[in-house]
Amino acid sequence: MTTHSARGHIATGNRCSTYVVAVTIPPAPTRGRTLWWGFTRRCPRCGQGHLFRRYFTLVADCPRCRLHFERESGYFAGALAVNIIVTGAVFAVVFVALVAATAPHIPVLPLLAVLVPIVVVVPIVYYPFSKTVWMAVDRAILMRLDPNERPDDRW
């Protein structure tokens, strides 16, 4: 933590008093912590939870640090990519496990009965996580790669 102090003067009647205020600014979170906050549906800047009004409705700004989440139009296309990657990974792992368990006589209909619900349910369940994971990836990795990106003001 970094502590900054500020001096000021208060004039009361005929007297002038001096006061000192100490302001503590938390250090910038590490990349790992920022990514962890994304996986746990928290703000990638301050770690605050409660970012969703309902399961699918992300608030516009963080209630604690006021970070505006949608930086530009189409910003959450990256969240769509994260959701597709996670769904594909879950599908691939389950597919390989089922094929390995049932080889050499692979039952197609039971395999489909398991795999089709996966590609329907996983994107719905992972939807809010994909948004916060994308914001965390953007802040932890992508923003630090761009030399023209201005670091945001500390809250």
Q: Where are the domains of the chain?
A: 29-145
Model confidence over 80-130: pLDDT tens digits?
999 999 999 999 999 999 999 999 999 999 999 999 999 999 999 999 999
In sign, the C-alpha dihedral spanning 34, 38, 39, 42 is positive
Model confidence over 51-70: pLDDT tens digits?
999 999 999 999 998 888 88
Model confidence over 8-60: pLDDT tens digits?
555 556 666 666 666 566 677 889 999 999 999 999 989 999 999 999 999 99
Decide: 34 and 134 in contact? Cβ < 8 Å. Answer: no
pLDDT of residue 153: 54
pLDDT of residue 1: 52
Torsion of CA 61, 67, 68, 74, to 10 degrees: -120
Decide: 33 and 8 in contact? Cβ < 8 Å. Answer: no
Decide: 35 and 26 in contact? Cβ < 8 Å. Answer: no
